[in-house]
Amino acid sequence: YVEKALHFTVPPASPTWIYTSSKGFGQGTGLWSLVWFTCLVPLVLLFWKLAAHKIIFVNLRTIVSVHLMHILSQYVINYCAPWPEKDSHHVNNPSYLERIGCIVPCHKSAGEIKATLQSLLQFLKPEHVVVVDNGNSVEPLDETQRVVEELNPAITYLWVPIGMKTNALWVGLNKLPPTVEYVMHIDDDTECPPDMVFDEHVWDHSHTDAVSYGIVMYQTGIVEKLVDYEFKTISQFRLFQSHFSTVWFQHGIIGIWRRKAFTEVLQEHPFLPFGEDNWNGTINLLRNRQMRQELRSHVITYAPPTLLPGGSFDRQQGYGAANIWKQRAERWFVNAPRRFWIRLYLLFFYCHDTVLGNIVFRVLSLMHLFEIYAHLVAPLTLLIYAFSNHFRWSFVWQAFLLQSVLHCGQVMFQNYYWWRHRKDIQVDFLVCLLMPLYQTFLTVCFWYGHWRCLLYYIPFVPMRCGLYTEGGMTPALLKHLHNIDTCADDGEEADSPFHLNLEDGSTGALGGPCHDVP
């Protein structure tokens, strides 16, 4: 398993403090969780006390003030970084395209991978495309390999028997040929448009290590359309970051890195189950590097078509995230509180190469830190209000209606005024009406995800720096982390931590000296 599923290298030469402070902690959680909850109890009591004081802000004036701040930020972003026109005159440089390689991590993707690869082959050499199919199984889980080989046998297909996207990226990165200087990663259900802009001049700035692209969704249902609007606003916000400071991370959906930078980032990566893209960006910021956004073109991808679990939908985004709740509340939104201290460190010590870049970075960092705090305290404040003598149902309905009207107006202004020059990215009127409800749903996802981070993710899911990249994986850890049973190779001791073979049936189903967690 070790040989088939992992790639080992030497430790990073000049690691950041997040790597050095996390390396060697081990995967045991008993003592760490005890210490964590001992420290968390007074923190929760502090949050509760703060929430009790915040009850005075539960009024209509606060709602109006918050939306006025959002409108102001919306104006600044759209005025300073408007969504650009399509660049019909841009011609991609063939010599630049020949230096780009692409990793496509995938999981049960036979139905989508063909369209993704066809879109890539418009620009890239097939020898520079690596499809990394992965899952906790000895054998591939579907017909992805057949689809890839039928499309173009020059594309490299790998089956990695550990189901983890970060590990798939790491293994795929080390399978790219040496002629690749820039590494593109793209999700298995994402397509590049025919007019995709690959502009090599982004690398003229020596501090730039990566570039991301705009992201839109297939318009197959109302939930997908709501997510589409959300990602369009995120894409434009990143353009603002790119112009005046730095993008914070490249979504796993699409991004291009300098190969050296991507290698160094993954060497220090914590290899947590979810949110690998945000950790990539965070580590890059700790190295005082920058990232950019390209919005003259955008990729198109799928979104889960339902908000909540249930229904007949069986397409599983993100290794099982078949609905927005699971994708956001249980995965994407469980990382931010864990990075709070890292963001606080970056607030004081990140160094941009311009004065304006440093100022903008710190303003946005303060806003992000306050947002984490607000998502933790807000549900406690509302809970206290619900059981207080001040509670009135009339206020609840008034607040909900006011919030909906103000948010709906903000969305319509964005859609019909700021995007009036780009009819192709405007959304339906119904989407404008429903966005307040969707945003309320996302807010609840934030609340749940952030508290899940404090109560479960931090104490029981340790950082895994170096475990997948430096030879630290053992049979017991494979079982513990991925529920994979392995047997020792023929002629080797049963307690040998490495050199595990991937023989037919050697996953614990047959006899022999198998390893397990006690």
Closest alpha carbon to 142 in 105, 115, 108: 108
Determine phi and psi for 468, rounding to 5 degrees: -95, -10
What are residue 294's DSSP bridge partners? 213
Q: What is the pLDDT along the chain (518 residues), one digit of tens a residue?
A: 778 899 999 999 999 999 998 886 777 888 889 999 999 999 999 999 888 887 777 788 888 998 999 999 999 999 999 999 988 899 999 999 999 999 999 999 999 999 999 999 999 999 999 999 999 988 999 999 999 999 999 999 999 999 999 999 999 999 999 999 999 999 999 999 999 999 999 999 999 999 999 999 998 899 999 999 999 999 999 999 999 999 999 999 999 999 999 999 999 999 999 999 999 999 999 999 999 999 999 999 999 999 999 765 555 544 557 899 999 999 999 999 999 999 999 999 999 999 999 999 999 999 999 999 999 999 999 999 999 888 899 999 999 999 999 999 999 999 999 999 999 999 999 999 999 999 999 999 999 999 999 999 999 999 999 999 998 888 888 888 888 888 776 656 544 444 333 232 222 222 333 333 33
Cα distances (Å, whole numbers) of residue 371 to 234, 368, 377, 443:
16, 5, 10, 11
What is the Cβ-side half-sphere exposure of residue 386, based on CA atoms within 13 angstroms? 6
Task: Find all residues with CB under 8 Å of 294, minimum gap 6, and list them.
Answer: 197, 199, 202, 211, 212, 213, 214
pTM of the model: 0.91
Cα distances (Å, whole numbers) of residue 14 to 243, 260, 303, 347, 380:
29, 13, 38, 21, 42
**Alpha-carbon distance 395 to 481, whole Å?**
48
All structural domains of the chain with their residue ranges: 1-90+197-473, 485-518
